[in-house]
Amino acid sequence: MRRRPPALLSQVLAVNTLLIVATVFVASVAARLDLKSADGLHQFLVVAAAIFATVLANGIILRRRFKPLERLVETMGRVDLSTPGVRAERQADEPADVERLREAFNGMLDRLEAERAGAAAAVLRAQEEERARIARDLHDEVNQALTAILLRLQASAADAPEDLAAELAETRALAQQAMDELLRLVRELRPTALDDHGLVPALRSQVTEFGRRPGITAELDVDDDLPDLSPDEQLVVYRIAQESLSNVARHADATHVTVSLGRLPGGHVRLRVADDGVGLRSPSPTPGTGLGLAGMRERALLAGGKLDVRTRALDGSGTVVELAL
């Protein structure tokens, strides 16, 4: 491992000490200090004590002058782009150089955050567009083909012998099942209910659909006085609820899930998805394990909201996903 170079403070102190000692040495040579005599020795001790006191005072003063720089470095180390908005604060005793460094650092954070938000927005937009395209293709092409098959089967069954008609009816039921599944997939890919009916009905149909799964019940609680949300914010709420429910189905082993949409003090909207399942295996799932949680965080961030995913009960059971917008 590479050794850390000495701190700037130690380097300045070392140079100062060297200069002081060299100056005193030159001065004592010039003054012809005689160390062999008792007088000379006494003078030498006084000079040595003076050097020691000077270096000490120098150290104390320098440490104070370097303090703002140290605090700034600490703040820089704490900055985390996943919780944006943190900036290095102005310090009372800040020298001009540290002020410039702080301003440059804050400016760099502004640019990084804007770039990150732009990139995340582009990815999410591309994802939504791709979903819409796939949903359209599935709906227009595959659904049409299945409908044609269903109609043909119906026509064939009408003038088929009895035993063949029964088999055709069974095939028709299978085709119908495939079509229902396809339409469900299309609805999941592109929540047209959101465009057509608004957030609450779209959430309601999502939760009702989810509750149809065997072994789990689902309920939706909605406050009456919800503030208005923009179409983008509605999409964020809808997608986060969707991913949370999909996680409940895949990981939670839960018997009940509650989705609630309410108003927080201060006019914020809160979406909460709480299950009674096995809970998160670690207190906060490691970033990068799946795309789901990371995607939810990105969406929340873009809409200026905050996402919190935590275990519900003290015994580690249940999971709560909470979005505040």
Q: Which residues bind Mg ion (CB under 5 A)?
A: 247, 290, 292
Q: What's the one-letter identity of residue 118?
A: G
Number of Cβ within a 10 Å radius of residue 319 = 25
d(CA 164, CA 82): 62
Report the nearest approach of ligand ATP to the CB of residue 82 (Å).
Answer: 14
User: Is 278 a residue that touches ligand ATP (CB under 6 A)?
Assistant: yes
As a whole number of angstroms, the distance between CA 143 and CA 170 comes to 19
State the greatest distance between any 2 C-alpha atoms of the chain, in Å, as a whole number.
134
Asked if 213 touches ligand ATP (CB under 6 A), the answer is no
Judged by beta carbon, residue 64 or residue 184, the one nearer ligand ATP is: 184
Q: Are 207 and 259 in contact (CB under 8 A)?
A: yes
Least distance in Å: CB of 63 to ligand ATP? 46
Shortest Å distance, C-beta 278 to ligand ATP: 6
Output the six-digit token pair for 44. Answer: 């030498």
- Kindly tell me the burial class for residue 191, based on how many C-beta atoms sit within 10 Å of its own C-beta (0-12, 13-18, 19 or more): buried
Of 286-315, binders to ligand ATP (CB under 6 A) are 289-293
Supply 163's token pair: 């035993």
Q: Which does 281 bind (CB under 5 to 8 A by kind): Mg ion, ligand ATP, none?
A: ligand ATP
**Total residues interacting with ligand ATP, rule: CB under 6 A:** 18
Nearer to Mg ion, 94 or 243 (CB): 243
Which of ligand ATP, Mg ion, none sits in contact with 172, Cβ below 5 to 8 A by type?
none
Q: What is the CA radius of gyration of the chain?
A: 35
Binding status of residue 207 toward ligand ATP by CB under 6 A: no
Phi, psi values for residue 310, rounded to 5°? -150, 170
Per-residue interface string for the shown chain with ligand ATP, residues 237-256, x marking contact by CB under 6 A:
----------xx-xxx----
Residues that bind ligand ATP (CB under 6 A): 247-248, 250-252, 275, 277-281, 285, 289-293, 319
